[in-house]
A = this chain, B = another copy of it.
Amino acid sequence: METALHFELPEFLARANSQAVTLPNAEDRMRFVLDLARQNVAADGGPFAAAVFEHASGRLLAAGANRVVASGYSCAHAEVVALSLAQNRLGHYDLGQADFPACELVSSAEPCLMCLGAVLWSGVRYLVCGARGEDVTALGFDEGPKPHVWIGELRRRGIEVRADVLRDEACEILRDYQVAGGLIYNASRS
């Protein structure tokens, strides 16, 4: 049967997804995600990673990273990969079901326009970000026409946002990627 959106996870990511990990606070969760971002760059990926945790317990549900170039799918941003793996694990498109613990997406950087939408539709109740959008666009990546009040737009829809968690460490990964001559795909054509 023909399938859509099918791609293999690199080994480090498959391993991360099979580990039993519980991280009680946001900083430790971000440190875990930033480590994935570094491993992803080493595995021919973009300098972005994300993971879904149970908000209260800190149990890891799924880990993702930007696999756009390797997978050949422009939608394979870290957030989309992590959210999709979590939904696959839960067996449901809505991570916000009433009988399921509230989920938190921890991302090494602010979501782009597409991922802002992906977060909205995923059912997560919490979003934790490292680098800011301006840190990402400084590299040449386009974030798209996001509303300036994007945090408010998420809150209005029941998603709490915590920004700037380990921002300096997150920015260091972006700078290292740039210095190493990493590919800036998705740059604006205008």
A117 at the interface (CB under 8 A from B): yes
Number of identical protomers:
2
Which residues of chain B come closer than 8 Å to A120, judged between CB atoms?
113-114, 142, 144, 186
Segment of A33-41, A63-71, A173-181 engaged in the interface with chain B = A63-71
A60 at the interface (CB under 8 A from B): no
Contact with B along A108-152 (1 / 0, CB 8 A): 000011111110111100000000000000000010110101100
Which residues in chain A, 1-44, are within 8 Å of chain B measured between CB atoms? Answer: 1-9, 13-14, 17-18
Cβ B5 vs Cβ A1 within 8 A? no
Alpha-carbon gap, A146 to B150, bound state (A):
10
Known: A114-B117, A114-B118. A5 touches B81 (CB 8 A): yes
